[in-house]
Structure 1
Amino acid sequence: MMFPQAERIASLRILVVGDVMLDRYWFGEVNRISPEAPVPVVKVARKEDRLGGAANVARNCVALGAQATLIGLVGQDEAGQTIAALCKEAGVVAQLCHDQEQPTIQKLRVLGRQQQLLRVDFENPPSATSLAQLAQTFTQQLALHDVVVFSDYAKGALTSIEPLIALAKQQHKPVLVDPKGDNYSRYYGASSITPNRLEMQQAVGSWQSEDELTQKAQQLRQQLGLEALLITRSEQGMTIYTETGRAHTVAQAQEVFDVSGAGDTVLATLAVARAAGLSWNEAMYWANKAGSIVVGKLGTSTVTAEELR
Structure 2
Amino acid sequence: MTPSRERLAACRVLVVGDAMLDRYWFGSVDRISPEAPVPVVSVRREEDRLGGAANVALNVSRLGAASTLLTVVGDDAPAATLQSLLEREGISALLGRDAQLTTIVKLRVIGQSQQLLRVDFESTPDHEVLARMLSDFEVALAGCDVVLFSDYGKGGLTHIPRMIGLARQAGKPVLVDPKGSDYSRYAGATVITPNRAELIQVIGRWRDEADLIERATRLREELRLDALLLTRSEEGMSLFDGAAEPLNVAARAREVFDVTGAGDTVIATLAAMLGCGMSLREAVPVANRAGGIVVGKFGTATVSYEELFA
* TM-score using structure 1 length: 0.98
**1:268 and 1:18 mapped to 2: Cα distance?**
13
Amino acid at match of 2:278: L
Render the CA deviation track for 1:19-55: whole Å, top value 9, x for unaligned.
Answer: 0000000000001111111111101000000000000
Please give the residue correspondences for 1:166-181 in structure 2 after superposition, counting only pairs within 5 Å: 166-181=165-180
Please give the residue correspondences for 1:263-302 in structure 2 after superposition, counting only pairs within 5 Å: 263-302=263-302
Superposed displacement of residue 181, structure 1: 0.4
Amino acid at match of 2:75: Q
Render the CA deviation track for 1:139-166: whole Å, top value 9, x for unaligned.
Answer: 2211111110000000011011111111
Superposed displacement of residue 107, structure 1: 0.4
In the alignment, what sits opposite 1:187? 186
In the alignment, what sits opposite 1:77? 76
**Partner of 1:157: helix, strand, or coil?**
coil
Please give the residue correspondences for 1:1-309 in structure 2 after superposition, counting only pairs within 5 Å: 2-126=1-125, 128=127, 130-244=129-243, 245-309=245-309
Moved runs in structure 1, 4+ residues, more than 4 A?
none
* Unaligned residue ranges in structure 1 (runs of 5+): none
Aligned pair count reads 308
Render the CA deviation track for 1:252-291: whole Å, top value 9, x for unaligned.
Answer: 1111111111000000000011111112121110110000
Amino acid at match of 2:142: A
Of 119-128 and 179-188, deviating more is 119-128
Amino acid at match of 1:195: P
**1:199 and 1:127 mapped to 2: Cα distance?**
24
Amino acid at match of 2:53: A
**Partner of 2:274: helix, strand, or coil?**
helix
Check whether the contact 2:129–2:155 (CA below 8 A) recurs between aligned residues: no
**2:124 and 2:4 mapped to 1: Cα distance?**
41
**1:172 and 1:278 mapped to 2: Cα distance?**
16
**1:217 and 1:146 mapped to 2: Cα distance?**
27
Check whether the contact 2:128–2:155 (CA below 8 A) recurs between aligned residues: no
Superposed displacement of residue 101, structure 1: 1.1
* Unaligned residue ranges in structure 2 (runs of 5+): none
* TM-score using structure 2 length: 0.97
**2:196 and 2:255 mapped to 1: Cα distance?**
20
**1:208 and 1:91 mapped to 2: Cα distance?**
46
**Could you say if the C-alpha distance between residues 192 and 129 of structure 1 is closer, same or farther in structure 2, counting changes exceeding 3 Å?**
closer
Superposed displacement of residue 243, structure 1: 1.8
Check whether the contact 2:131–2:159 (CA below 8 A) recurs between aligned residues: no
**Partner of 1:22: helix, strand, or coil?**
strand
Check whether the contact 1:125–1:156 (CA below 8 A) recurs between aligned residues: yes
Render the CA deviation track for 1:154-196: whole Å, top value 9, x for unaligned.
Answer: 0011011111111111111110000000101110000000000
Superposed displacement of residue 136, structure 1: 2.8
Amino acid at match of 2:209: E
Amino acid at match of 1:256: V
**Could you say if the C-alpha distance between residues 37 and 19 of structure 1 is closer, same or farther in structure 2, counting changes exceeding 3 Å?**
same
